[in-house]
């Protein structure tokens, strides 16, 4: 698995569990390069050649570059909850270490306005990915505030 989400890095840095519910920019400004190095090292140890989008945002935020609020959802229902916490509209994207270009498999939906639309978008992306790339590992969804 090439993705090591923010909560795992935060726990290893002694910041406790559950911090993945905070915007990356809030958490990373407190720990800076420690977490950015952990993200990159984790990806390298996993044999990854590139960071996932959430990992890249963690590194950018660690160096003070603004990023949109992003939450990781492991399930369709978690994607709905994440969107409600962030506020609408949101973007919903698939997370898979096997898919570099999400739009090639219909893995990006923008300007999603309601909880039902998030559910439908995530479920449809999951089904489409299973059909188009049956061997691809779906790790969940990235839910982001629309910029």
Q: Residue 112's pLDDT is what?
A: 98
The reply to whether 1 falls in a domain is: no
Task: Provide the number of structural domains found in the chain.
Answer: 2
Asked if residue 76 and residue 42 are part of one domain, the reply reads: no
- Whether 42 and 9 have beta carbons less than 8 Å apart is answered as yes
The reply to whether 105 falls in a domain is: yes
Eight-class DSSP state of 73:
E
Q: Residue 16's pLDDT is what?
A: 38
Asked if residue 76 and residue 43 are part of one domain, the reply reads: no
- Enumerate residue ranges in the chain where pLDDT < 50: 1, 3-30
The reply to whether 100 falls in a domain is: yes
- Whether 93 and 142 have beta carbons less than 8 Å apart is answered as yes
Q: Nearest Cα to 92, choosing from 101, 79, 105, 103?
A: 79
Residue 130 structural domain: 70-145
Asked if residue 76 and residue 54 are part of one domain, the reply reads: no
- Quote the pTM value: 0.74
Within 8 A by CB and 6+ apart from 62, the residues are: 28, 29, 31, 32, 33, 35, 36, 39
Asked if residue 56 and residue 79 are part of one domain, the reply reads: no
Output the six-digit token pair for 118. Answer: 């998030």
The reply to whether 44 falls in a domain is: yes
């Amino acid at each position: 698995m090439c993705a090591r989400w923010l909560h795992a890095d935060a726990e290893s840095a002694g910041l406790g569990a559950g911090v993945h519910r905070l915007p990356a920019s809030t958490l990373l400004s407190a720990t800076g390069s420690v977490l950015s190095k952990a993200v990159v090292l984790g990806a390298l140890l996993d044999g990854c050649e590139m960071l996932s989008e959430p990992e890249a945002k963690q590194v950018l935020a660690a160096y003070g570059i603004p990023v949109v609020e992003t939450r990781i959802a492991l399930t369709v229902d978690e994607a709905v909850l994440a969107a409600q916490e962030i506020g609408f509209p949101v973007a919903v994207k698939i997370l898979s270490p096997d898919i570099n270009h999400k739009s090639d498999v219909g893995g990006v939906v923008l300007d999603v306005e309601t909880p039902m639309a998030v559910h439908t978008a995530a479920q449809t992306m999951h089904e489409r990915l299973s059909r188009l790339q049956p061997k691809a590992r779906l790790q969940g969804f990235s839910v982001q505030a629309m910029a």
